Amino acid sequence: MKLTLFVWRQKDAASHGAFERYELSDVSEDSSFLEMLDLLNMKLVETGDTPVAFEHDCREGICGSCSMTINGCPHGPKKMTTACQLHMRNFSDGDEIYIEPFRAAAFPVVKDLVVDRSAFDRIQMAGGYVSVSTGAAPEANATPVDKESADEAFEAAACIGCGACVAACPNGSAMLFTSAKVVHLGLLPQGQPERMDRVSGMVAQMDAENFGGCTNHGECQEACPKGISIKYITRMNRDFIRATVGKAVSLRGKMGAQ
């Protein structure tokens, strides 16, 4: 295959970026999109040019680090597929492909196609864990979990934190990511003791990270490589309302007692 690539090049966060044009030939249709970028970088190194910076780790659709926008779509045109699992047979000989980083205020560009997604880590640290003392590790089947809750928790836990939902959202919202992390633990019995504090803390951190608000466009679930549904946003909103009302009632009760 012969391709014309328009790749976003940006030296660092303080620099202005622009698309650079590259011609690439002899691309195997069986290669992955990242292997195609490897080929491009090999040719750039051979000519003494600076290779394109992009993130990757597992290359198996698990780690979520291969975050890039391909022809206007986070992770590319094929649904429920990460960029590393997107194969060049999804393109045609002679195609022009535009490759750029995820665009969101909360994801500043570090270099070329690499963005800083540490805002997701801080949301996780605000409550995406179970801190209650459980003693020694219990036997796996000791705590009963109903099938429906287990299945839904597993679906939410499939989130790999890639950020495609944020990049696809016109508002740059992180509601799908945050709701997946909140609901995953909120559906399990181990997550119940901190359920209300968890949703309050993680939503507050999400708001503090400069993400936009959700206005129900639904683009997030369309771009998610794991097919996570916006129904989890509804569940998170319900818990958030309960947590907020509960705190208000508790505060009113304390003030009345004084």
User: pLDDT tens across 173-226, in order?
Assistant: 999 999 999 999 999 998 999 999 999 999 999 999 999 999 999 999 999 999
pLDDT at 87 > cutoff 70: yes
Q: How confident is the model at residue 24 (pLDDT cuts 50, 70, 90)?
A: very high
Averaged pLDDT of the chain: 93
Return the closest-CA partner of residue 165 out of 235, 214, 108. 214
Residue 122 contacts residue 209 (beta carbons within 8 Å): yes
pLDDT at 255 > cutoff 60: no
Cα 19 from chain centroid (whole Å): 24
Rounded mean pLDDT, 135-149 = 83
Residues 6-23: pLDDT tens digits?
Answer: 999 999 999 999 999 999
3-state secondary structure the chain: CCEEEEEEECCCCCCCCEEEEEEECCCCCCCEHHHHHHHHHHHHHHCCCCCCCCCCCCCCCCCCCCCCEECCEECCCCCCCCHHHCEHHHCCCCCEEEEECCCCCCCCEEECCEECCHHHHHHHHCCCCCCCCCCCCCCCCCCCCCHHHHHHHHHHHCCCCCCHHHHHCCCCECHHHHHHHHHHHHCCHHHCCCHHHHHHHHHHHHHHCCCECCCCCCHHHHHCCCCCCCHHHHHHHHHHHHHHHHHHHHHHHHHHHC
- Amino acid occupying residue 242: R
Residue 82 contacts residue 70 (beta carbons within 8 Å): no
d(CA 174, CA 177): 5
Backbone angles phi, psi at 114, to 5 degrees: -95, 130
Selected residue with higher pLDDT from 134 and 219: 219
Q: How confident is the model at residue 135 (pLDDT cuts 50, 70, 90)?
A: confident
Cα 45 from chain centroid (whole Å): 31
Supply the pLDDT for residue 180.
Answer: 97
Cα 137 from chain centroid (whole Å): 30
Residues 92-133: pLDDT tens digits?
Answer: 999 999 999 999 999 999 999 999 999 999 999 999 988 877
Selected residue with higher pLDDT from 195 and 139: 195
d(CA 1, CA 255): 72
Rounded mean pLDDT, 35-58 = 97
Supply the pLDDT for residue 130.
Answer: 85
Rounded mean pLDDT, 36-56 = 97
